[in-house]
Structure 1
């Protein structure tokens, strides 16, 4: 089917624009030949003057014909030089003029025995190359009729021998033979060229499709040289490595250096191609990435193909499996834990009412109550995590949503100390697509933590909410900044791990649950190091055009 389609395309385009361009080029070459022949004929007249008329029947007519032929060809050459594009009728007229002028010169000279008869064969051949159709056969027939006419007139009018008629017949056979052979060759050449053009267009279309597929792949693709210079990068690689969401229209490499972890991984891989590098982060706000290297040219090894995979997607799938198992586990043990936990809490309350307790017993009861609440909080968080519903995303105006969230959150905060929540919202913020209830749950967790740690450090319930756009201006982000003691460098990579906490009263599941909710909305929660005191957590939303 593919071959049949290509053949049909070649037949339809045999005389299309590519064939016409080729025809124009061939006609220019043929006209150069005509100009050279005209100059040679004129030169023979000027440098070899004839004192007798023995070689010509009508010398004056012959001279006038040569000069006229040179003038026609010279004028045509000037038109072509000026950019004139000859059409089919112009080419046909030129071939007809050549055939008639050549036979006129034969008639004015010594007849069909003159060497100019060989030039007629060239004109017929050129006509069949330039117009490989029925008109080419007409050129051969016209030339044959003219040759026979001249020979017949010479035999009848001036008593020439019948050998001229035989020669004219032989020339006629040559005319038709040249016409048929060249028509066949020219048609095959045109079909081959048209087929090649059709296949070249198909290859170009396939290349464009491949480029679009590569650009829209969520796996980042890089082509590097051995020195780490980027030769090609798709949109996913730009977004994952540099935080730039490309439009996917061009594959030109950008003037950027590889992130340091990726460059170090490339150097290690060049030393040991069997080595698999460790996952890395291109920046503090980017997700965890995994790079795989391979050589494009096995012999020279000049170019290196790099696949960049977002490990958060793999991690998310693994987390889904873990959560499913965790859900089944917690559903089975929650009842078994809560019943004795409730009995312990109730017994502690009853003991607290006893008037005979001393101060040491009261401290023990307080420990029992606090740790019972902590265990109950762990069970609640695990149950919420395992029962998480699918995100119901919608397109949100981030600035307006953040203002509404701030007003609602302030009303829910209880405490003796006044709460200060500062807003800093940029003017140009792209929209984001997420589930409001789930992201608001994340924001409540971050704001509660921020207010608590700010009060511990400064004595004030104060946080900042910041909204802006990424470097490419196509993705929104929201920051929650507190003024607490911050997180030490050795703990920064562990804050999102489950059950990790620096607060003795915490469960260690808050930030873990927050990141899971962000991942469910294709957002990324990260801890930003801006060199300022306190902590700054950032939610970077996905491109609004990406459907969840």
Structure 2
């Protein structure tokens, strides 16, 4: 069992001794004032009025000096208390000697001094106080007996007072011992509760599940770090979450009206993942607090998709050889037919269709096979402005003069941690898609690339904006699902793989909801100072179609 801290124990002892010293001053002032008023204090004549006056004034001076030292902040030591108790016993017995012996009421004050000594310094020294007081009372009685001013009754009375002194010491020590034991137990329990509370706090803060405690009005009482990221994004400088965002507050209202209802997933901000909220009341009938669990639905969907695609990849790997051989034969036969001089124009178009679809099937097989292969990402700190300019120049050189890519670098140079090759693949997928949809809508292959910093000024982003016709709400809901495509020629894996590459590097790829024409995809990078132990990403892929 752990005892209470010495600092706390000494502080409590100093406070008690200060109170006791105030009591001593008050008692002596009362004695001196009654003496000056020439009042018969005890119903008997004094034995030695001069001794009484001198003792009372000296006792008053000592107590006042002690009080001033305490007020000045003089550190209190155990021996200071011992000396003070001994001074009390000595002066109180001198006052009793000069005022009529142990039969006067002054001798009863000794009991309080012994009690105070046993409370302030429990232990054997408390018995010493009682023994010394008992001897002093007997000495006073014997002295007065010799002086023939007292009788044998005073000796008996002194013995009785000695018994009272020892009884006081034993009783107070027993009470003090019990109080000390209770204090140690309370201190140990308080420390255990504090350690448990700190442990619970650390566990809650490190949980990947968002935890929020709120009242029915939506005021947040407690929120862990995961909840902040799910509802506010990874914003290191943003203030703590104080109120629920509007989508979550709306679902809380629905749950309060019908607790059995499972609310729909939502997205607090366009740069935050989808969230599923689950509500449960806390056992606090007065405050009516509600516990909210927030689950990242994108991770759940991603895990399910990865399992599905991994299984599909293993299946495809097993049958790829059997598919490619006849597929290669079909493609080769179509190519030979197209080269024949006797083929008609209609048949030539048919052979072209066969070749295009053969290439598409082969691309699907290649992309699915790549999903089952993983490699560790080579994460580096990139200057996005410089790196993006080199990628655009390279694309222009390889794609010809028909592509118009407008590069806008705003603000200071932005930095991000990412695998350059994987970022190159994800960005090329977005550029290819954007140019294709711009050409389909406007007849020109145009695109705008821009960089900037998020609202908190901590994270960089890249925007890829096209001049396409935009996407419907239904298409937005399935945009990043594998094999979803809006074109007949696409494999439906381009955007899915681009987002997988971003998430593997702790970045997020999402469709930005803007009022401008076309579609804008944004890659928001993690804070450049953030590092993790495991940067595992999906492999390089060649698919670029949505």
Normalising by structure 2, we get a TM-score of 0.89
**Is it true that 1:261 corresponds to 2:251 in the alignment?**
no
The 2-side partners of 1:339 and 1:373 are apart by: 13
The 2-side partners of 1:421 and 1:176 are apart by: 98
Q: 1:396 Cα shift?
A: 2.5
Equivalent in 4, 8, 33 of residue 18 of structure 1: 8
Aligned to 2:543: none
Q: 1:393 Cα shift?
A: 4.9
CA contact (8 A) 2:114 2:168 kept: yes
The 2-side partners of 1:511 and 1:19 are apart by: 67
CA contact (8 A) 1:129 1:182 kept: yes
**Residues 284 and 120 from structure 1, CA distance in 2 versus in 1: closer, same or farther, beyond 3 angstroms?**
same
Backbone CA RMSD of aligned residues: 2.9
**Is it true that 1:149 corresponds to 2:139 in the alignment?**
yes
Partner of 1:231, secondary structure, is strand
The 2-side partners of 1:445 and 1:362 are apart by: 31
CA contact (8 A) 1:245 1:472 kept: yes
**Is it true that 1:437 corresponds to 2:421 in the alignment?**
yes
**Is it true that 1:545 corresponds to 2:540 in the alignment?**
no
Aligned to 2:308: 322
Q: 1:343 Cα shift?
A: 2.2
The 2-side partners of 1:401 and 1:291 are apart by: 41
**Residues 274 and 397 from structure 1, CA distance in 2 versus in 1: closer, same or farther, beyond 3 angstroms?**
same
**Residues 151 and 98 from structure 1, CA distance in 2 versus in 1: closer, same or farther, beyond 3 angstroms?**
same
**Is it true that 1:358 corresponds to 2:348 in the alignment?**
no
The 1-side partners of 2:279 and 2:431 are apart by: 42
CA contact (8 A) 1:290 1:311 kept: yes
Equivalent in 200, 214, 219 of residue 209 of structure 2: 219
Aligned to 1:508: 492
**Residues 205 and 429 from structure 1, CA distance in 2 versus in 1: closer, same or farther, beyond 3 angstroms?**
farther
Q: 1:147 Cα shift?
A: 1.3
The 2-side partners of 1:472 and 1:450 are apart by: 28
Which is worse superposed, 456-465 or 88-97?
Answer: 456-465
**Is it true that 1:231 corresponds to 2:231 in the alignment?**
no
Aligned length: 532
Which is worse superposed, 112-121 or 360-369?
Answer: 360-369
**Residues 413 and 462 from structure 1, CA distance in 2 versus in 1: closer, same or farther, beyond 3 angstroms?**
farther
Partner of 2:399, secondary structure, is coil
The C-alpha deviation readout for 1:469-518, integer Å capped at 9, x for no partner, is 43444444333223333323442222212232223322222112222333
Partner of 1:290, secondary structure, is strand
Aligned to 2:447: 463
Q: 1:125 Cα shift?
A: 1.1
**Is it true that 1:110 corresponds to 2:100 in the alignment?**
yes
Equivalent in 320, 327, 337 of residue 334 of structure 1: 320
Partner of 2:477, secondary structure, is coil
Q: 1:457 Cα shift?
A: 4.5
Q: 1:116 Cα shift?
A: 1.0
Q: 1:436 Cα shift?
A: 3.6
Equivalent in 384, 399, 402 of residue 414 of structure 1: 399
**Residues 176 and 363 from structure 1, CA distance in 2 versus in 1: closer, same or farther, beyond 3 angstroms?**
same
**Is it true that 1:297 corresponds to 2:283 in the alignment?**
yes
The C-alpha deviation readout for 1:47-106, integer Å capped at 9, x for no partner, is 444699961111122122223323333443444455555332332222122111101111
CA contact (8 A) 2:392 2:405 kept: no
CA contact (8 A) 1:374 1:507 kept: yes
CA contact (8 A) 1:429 1:473 kept: no
**Residues 68 and 495 from structure 1, CA distance in 2 versus in 1: closer, same or farther, beyond 3 angstroms?**
same
Which is worse superposed, 38-47 or 22-31?
Answer: 38-47
The 2-side partners of 1:74 and 1:535 are apart by: 86
